[in-house]
Structure 1
Amino acid sequence: MSIVVTGATGELGRLVVDRLLTTVPAGEIAAVVRNEEKAAPLAALGVGIRVADYDRPETLKDAFRAGDRVLLISGSEVGRRVPQHTAVIGAAKAAGVAQLAYTGILGGPDADFELAAEHKVTERLILDSGLPYTFLRNGWYTENYTAHLGPVLEHGAVVANAGDGRVASAARADYAAAAAAVLTGEGHIGAAYELSGDVAWSFAEYAEQVAKATGKEIVYRHVPAATHQEILVGAGVPEPFAAILVDVDAAIGRGLLAGAGGDLARLIGRPTTPLAETIAAAVAGTDSTAVAAAVAGPGA
Structure 2
Amino acid sequence: MSTSPRLLVTGASGQLGRLVIQSLLKTVPAARIVATVRTLAKATDLQALGVEVREADYDQPAVLDAAFQGIDRLLLISSSEIGRRVPQHRNAIDAAVRAGVGLIGYTSLLHGDASPLPLKAEHVATEAALRASGAPFVILRNGWYLENYNGFIAPGLEHGAVFGSAGEGRIAAAARADYADAAAAVLAAGAEHAGKIYELAGDDGFTMADWAAALSEVAGKVVAYNNLPEADYKALLINIGLPAPVADLLSSSDVGAAQGGLYDASRTLSRLIGRPTTPLKTALAAALKG
TM bracket, shorter-chain basis: over 0.9
Structure 2 counterpart of 1:200, from 184, 202, 205: 205
1:259 alignment partner, SS class: coil
Q: Which amino acid aligns with 2:257?
A: I
1:194–1:71 CA distance, 2 compared to 1 (3 A): same
* Count of matched residue pairs: 285
Match of 2:85 among 57, 81, 84: 81
Contact kept, 8 Å, 1:167 with 1:252, in 2: the verdict is yes
Correspondence for 2:229 among 214, 217, 224: 224
Q: What is the alpha-carbon distance in structure 1 between the residues aligned to residue 230 and residue 30 of structure 2?
A: 47
1:155 counterpart = 2:159: yes
Which letter does structure 1 place at the counterpart of 2:111?
G
Tell me how far 1:56 sits from its aligned partner: 2.0
Aligned position for 1:239: 244
SS of residue in 2 equivalent to 1:4: strand
Unaligned runs of 5+ in 2: none
Counterpart check, 1:63 vs 2:55: no
Decide whether the 8 Å contact of 2:152 with 2:162 is kept in 1.
no
1:175-209 CA deviation, whole Å, 9 max, x = no partner?
00000000011410000000000000011110011
Paired position in structure 2 for 1:26: 30
Name the SS for the 2:64 alignment partner. Answer: helix
- The letter for the 2-side match of 1:227 is D
Q: 1:66 Cα shift? A: 4.4
Q: Which amino acid aligns with 1:279?
A: L
Give TM-score scaled by structure 1 length. Answer: 0.93
Deviation at 1:113, TM superposition (A): 2.2
TM-score normalised to structure 2 length:
0.96
Following the alignment from structure 1 to structure 2, what is the Cα–Cα distance between the partners of residues 241 and 67?
36
Aligned to 1:122: 126
1:141 aligned residue? 145
One-letter code aligned to 1:151: P
1:241 shift after superposition: 1.6
Whole-Å separation in 1 of the counterparts to 2:215 and 2:245? 28
CA RMSD across the alignment: 1.0
Is 1:50 the equivalent of 2:54?
yes
Q: 1-side partners of 2:102 and 2:148: how far apart?
A: 32
How far does residue 61 in structure 1 lie from its aligned partner after superposition? 1.1
Unaligned runs of 5+ in 1: 286-300
Q: Is the 8 A contact 1:147 1:282 kept in 2?
A: no
* Corresponding residue SS for 1:256: coil
Q: Which contiguous aligned blocks of 4+ residues in structure 1 show a shift greater than 3 angstroms?
A: none
Partner in structure 1 of residue 193 of structure 2: 188
Amino acid at match of 1:190: G
Alignment partners' CA distance in 1, 2:263 and 2:179:
16
Alignment of 1:97-116 (within 5 A): 97-116=101-120
Query: After the TM superposition, which of the residue ranges 252-261 and 96-105 deviates more from structure 2?
Result: 252-261
Counterpart of 2:171?
A: 167
Paired position in structure 2 for 1:255: 260
| 1:146/1:278 contact within 8 Å kept | no
In structure 2, distance between residues paired with 1:214 and 1:9: 31
Task: Describe the SS at the equivalent of 1:282.
Answer: helix
- SS of the residue corresponding to residue 131 of structure 1 reads coil
Equivalent in 10, 15, 21 of residue 19 of structure 2: 15
Structure 1 residue aligned with 2:45: 41
Q: Is the 8 A contact 1:36 1:51 kept in 2?
A: yes
Q: Secondary structure at the match of 1:77?
A: coil
User: What are the superposed Cα offsets for residues 45-79 of structure 1, whole Å, 9 maximum, x if unpaired?
Assistant: 11001101112222111111345200000001110
Structure 2 residue 280 is matched with structure 1 residue 275: yes
Distance in 2, matches of 1:27 and 1:144, equals 33
The Cα shift of 1:216 comes to: 1.4
